[in-house]
Chain A
C-alpha cells in the first residue's frame, strides 16, 4: 500500500471541493473494496476523502411514489427496509445474495455500484491487465476465463461486473444521482451508467473524476413476482457464475436482468418482450451476439436453464 493522506468530509459540497483540491484523490465509503485494492497496489490514491458519514444514509419516499436511497445507505439496511422488502423484493434478495453479513454492514449503495471486477488477473500485479494497467494486455483472454464475460466484452478486456445489487437496480430501472465538483447535479439512468470496455477497460462508468454519487432512486413499484437466482459453485459467499433477476407479472410479461455475463448488469428490452414466450426466446434475445470462450461457454445454457427455473417458480 502506498502512503496516503486522509480527510473526512462532513457535507457533500465539502467532499467534492476536497476532491477538486487534492491530487489523485478517491472517495472512500465502506472501504470493503477500495481498501483491498489499495493493499495490493491495484489502486494507489494519494488522498482519501471519507464520505461514509455524509448525511446520505436515508431512504425516502419520492413524490413519484418511488424511493430515493441515499448513497451511504448500507447494504444491510437497504435489504431489510420494509418498503424495499415489500415493493422491491428483487433488490432485497439480490443484496442478501451478495458477500457476507459483515461486509453488507459496511458496504454502501454507491460503493456497491462502483465495486471493481473480480477477474483474478486484475488482482495479480505481475500479470498483464488492461484494466489495471492500460496497454499491458489481457491475461484472461487465452488464460483462465471460466468466470468471465460472454457478452459485451472486447479484445482488451473480458471482465464482468460482480455486483448482485446492480442487477436488481437494472431490472428495476434505477437512476443514479450525482453532484460534480462544480456542484452540478445530474441523474444518470442505470442503463447508461456503465461503460463498455472497448479499448479503455479502465474507464468503467460515465462518472467524471470527482463526481460524487448522492443517491440511487427507484421509480414507483411495478408489482409482480420478484425472484433473484444467483448460481455459484458453493452455496454462499461467492460471486455469481451467472445470476438472473426477474419481475414477472400475472400475464407473463415482465423484465429480466442478468449478472455475471458482462461488464454491466445485462438487460435488453427485446428480451423483456419475449418473456411470455419463455426462457429460450428470452435468452436468445438477451445473449444475442454472445462470444464466449471454451471455459465459459456453459454460461449460455446456464442462463437459459436458470431462467426457465425462475419462470416456472414465478408461475407457482
Chain B
C-alpha cells in the first residue's frame, strides 16, 4: 500500500482499541521472568558453549604478537577465534570500526579474540590467559583539543553539514540584543539493562543468531556482508530486547564473534558483552562542543540564529547532528548552522536516543533562556513570539501540525509557571534554593517502509508476523491494538510475533519511527486481510463493517472466523510512502518543565517535579506512551545532572565504564513526573495518524533542568552535566 495522500476516515478512527490506555500484552511474561532474552535462550540449540570476548588493552596501535598457548591449554577451552584465523571478514554498512580487530587496533576494548569454553567461568578464566603484546600509536582523544582539525563532514541520512539562509553575519552584527555562547555536552553511554548478547548456531552453511537487536533487516545485511555469505543463509531472531536506545541498531561484536565462535567450535556458542564493553566496545553518544548565537530586536523577534557543533568520531564515522533542530524550531530570517567533525580515536560514536536533538537542545534551549533573560522577557513568551508554522529554511513547506505554543501554555498553567520568580536565586525553601525552568521539546517524525503478514485461523485468532522489534517500548501491544481495531476483534484474539528475520521486513525500532511505521504496515496487511475475508464471505468490501468479532453489511452478518473455515487466510502487505514528508515538515513538539532544589550549602541538586506536554499525533497507547515519556524524562534528568563518560585523554578510553562509575538516575532522583498529551491526529503521517514519541520525551529535558538550576541559583552552567562542583564557588557565602 502506498501512502501518498493525507489520510481520511478509516477503521482506526473508531478508536475502540487503539488510543485506549492498554496494559502491555507481554507484561506478564516480563514481570514473571518468562520472556526469554537472548542470552537465556537455553532451549533453542543444544550443547551451547560459552564465548568470552578479549578486548584490546590499548586505544590505538597494533598487536605485535598474540600468544594463545596458555589459553588453549586452560580447562574446558573448545576454540579461540582471532582476526588472524577468522578468514576474510568484511565490514557492515553500519559499523565504523571492525567488530573483530587486529592486527590494527582502532579503539579501546575493540574485540581481538573470543575464547570458547564449556562453561562461562572457564571461558572467562582462559580469556585472561591470552597474552598480547601491543605497539601503541599516538591517538587523538580530546575533542576540545581536536576542534581546530575538524572538517566539514558529508551529508549523512540526508542531513547536510551546513545550511544558511539570508545573511546571518550582518543580521547578527546589527541586532540590538544578542547572545553568543558556547556549550559542551559529554559522551553518553546507552546503559541499557540488557547488555549486547547473542547465541549462534550453524547448520551447514546456514547461520541462526538469537540476539538482541533493534533493526533486524539492517543487521541481517551487515552480518552477511561481514561474513561474506548470502543474506538468505542468515536468520536473526530477537523477540525480546532489554533496552537498546540506539546501542543495538547494528550488529556488534557479540553477534559476529558468536557466529565465528560457533563455526570454530562446531557447536552453538553464546556471547554476552561484559558491562565495561557496552561502554568501550560498542557505540556511544558522542560529546559535542556547540556555539549558539541569537540576535533579536528589542521586542524579542529573532532576526539571526546560528548554531555550530563540533564532535568527533573514528575515521569514516559521522557527526553528532546537534544543529538539526535549530533549522526548524524558531523563526528568524537570517540563519546558519554548521557541523564539524574531528577524528578521535575513542570508541565509535553513533546514535543514542534522539541523536542530534538530544544534545542539540541541551545547548539551544539554554541559549534561548539566556536570550529571554537578556530581553527581559518570560522564556515562554519569547518562544511563543518566535514560533513558526513553516519550515524557516524553506518557507513553502508548512509543518503538518505544530502546536508548540499550546504545549507551552498548557504546561505553564498546569505547572504553575506564574509562581516562578524571574529573578534568579530569589526563591528559598529552608536551605534549598528553588527554581523553575522550561524548554521546548522537538524531534522530527520519520516514517519508514514497513511490512507485515496477518493470518486468520478458523478459531478466529489473528496472528501478526513482522520483523519489527519491541525494545521495551510496547510495540507488541500497539501492533495488537492495530490488528484488533482493523479486524474488529478484542485484544485477546490477537497474537503478535516479532523480531524474526523470517517475517516480513519492518521499519524496525529507532529514531522514534517504529510505532507509526510498524503499525501502518500492520494496517496495510489488515486492509488486505479484510478484502480476503469479505470476498470469502461474499460481502461488499467497501461497506463491510468489522466489529465485535463479526463482519456485517446491513443486516447480514457472519462471524469473522467463518472466512477461515476451509483454510487459514494469510495476507501480507507493506506500507510505503510518497512525498508527504517532503511537502510537509512532520515533527513532534513538546514543552518540558522542571522544578529543582539546590542545597545552598553543598550545591546538591535535586529535581522536585517535572512535567512534559507533548503534541505528537495520535497516541496509540497512552499508557505505554506515558511510560516512554517518563523514561525519557528520567534519562534527560541523567544527562542534565550526572551522566558523563569520563575520557582518559592519555590512554584514550572511557574510564567509568560500569554502572557504579557511570551514574544514571535512581528512584530517589526521580520525583513526581506528569505527562500530558495534546489530543491530535496528523493525517499526513500515515493512516494511523500517529508520530513518534519515544525520543521527543528526552528532547529539551536537560535544558529545562539547567534553566531551573539557573533560576534557583543565578549560576549558569553551560557544560554538562551540572554537578555540584560547577556551582560551588558561586553559591551564596556560608555565614
A residues near B (Cβ < 8 Å) are 1-3, 39, 41, 118, 120-121, 123-127, 139, 142-144, 146, 229, 231-239, 241, 279, 298, 301-302, 304-306, 308-309, 312
A308 near B601 with CB under 8 A, answer: yes
Show 21 A/B contacts (Cβ-Cβ < 8 Å), sorted by A.
A1-B121, A1-B125, A3-B75, A3-B125, A142-B650, A143-B648, A143-B651, A143-B655, A144-B648, A144-B655, A233-B723, A233-B724, A234-B665, A234-B666, A235-B666, A235-B668, A239-B660, A305-B601, A305-B602, A306-B602, A308-B735
B647 to A, closest residue via Cβ:
A144
Q: Is the interface of B mostly helix, strand, loop or mixed?
A: loop
Which of A142, A233, A241 has the most chain B CB within a 10 Å cutoff? A233
**In the complex, chain B residues whose CB is within 8 Å of the CB of A3:** 75, 121, 125
Tell me which of A123, A237, A305, A312 contacts B728 (CB under 8 A).
A305
Looking at the assembled complex, report how far the CB atom of A18 sits from the nearest CB atom of chain B, in whole angstroms: 23
Bound form: Cα–Cα A124–B725 in Å: 26
Which residues of B pack against A, CB within 8 Å?
Answer: 57-58, 75, 121, 124-125, 128, 276, 431, 599, 601-604, 606, 641-642, 646-648, 650-651, 655-658, 660-661, 663, 665-669, 721, 723-725, 728-729, 731, 734-735
Cα of A124 to Cα of B657 in the assembled complex, Å: 9
Could you tell me the distance between the alpha carbons of A230 and B668 in the complex, rounded to whole angstroms? Answer: 14
Chain B residue at minimum C-beta to C-beta distance from A301:
B728
Q: What is the CA–CA distance of A232 and B605 in the complex, to the nearest angstrom?
A: 10
Cβ-defined partner of B601 (8 Å) among A121, A124, A306: A306
Besides the known contacts A309-B602, A309-B734, 17 further A-B residue pairs in the complex with CB atoms under 8 A apart: A3-B125, A126-B57, A143-B648, A143-B650, A143-B651, A144-B655, A233-B642, A234-B666, A235-B666, A236-B666, A236-B667, A236-B668, A238-B666, A298-B728, A308-B734, A308-B735, A309-B601
Q: Say whether, besides A118-B660, A143-B651, A302 and B724 are in contact (CB < 8 Å).
A: yes
- Alpha-carbon gap, A139 to B155, bound state (A): 39
Known interface pairs A120-B661, A143-B651, A144-B646; A305-B603 also in contact (CB < 8 Å): yes
Contacts A301-B729, A308-B734 hold; do A124 and B276 have CB atoms under 8 A apart? yes
Complex contacts, A126 vs chain B, CB 8 Å: 57-58
What is the minimal beta-carbon distance from A220 to any residue of chain B, in angstroms?
32
Q: Residue on B with the closest CB to A231?
A: B602
Say how far B87's CB is from chain A's closest CB, in angstroms.
Answer: 28
How far is it, in angstroms, between the C-alpha of A123 and the C-alpha of B660 when the chains are bound? 11
B655 touches A305 (CB 8 A): no
Q: Which residues of B contact A118 (CB under 8 A)?
A: 660-661
* Interfacial chain A residues near B660, Cβ < 8 Å: 118, 239
The answer to whether A302 and B666 have CB atoms under 8 Å apart is: no
Contacts of B731 in A (CB 8 A): 305
Closest CB of chain B to A88's CB: distance in Å?
24
Assess the B641–A2 pair: CB atoms within 8 A: no
- Closest-by-CB residue of A relative to B124 is A1
List the A residue with the shortest CB-CB distance to B600. A309
Give the CA-CA distance A120 to B646 in the complex, in Å. Answer: 10
Residues of A within 8 A of B650 (CB): 142-143
Q: Inside 8 A of B431's CB, which chain A residues have their CB?
A: 309, 312
- Say whether B124 contacts A121, CB under 8 Å: no
Given the complex, which residues of A lie within 8 Å of B606, measured CB to CB? 235
Task: List, in ascending order, chain A residues with CB within 8 A of B723's CB.
Answer: 233
How many angstroms from the CA of A107 to the CA of B58 in the assembled complex? Answer: 35
Residue of A nearest to B128 (CB): A41
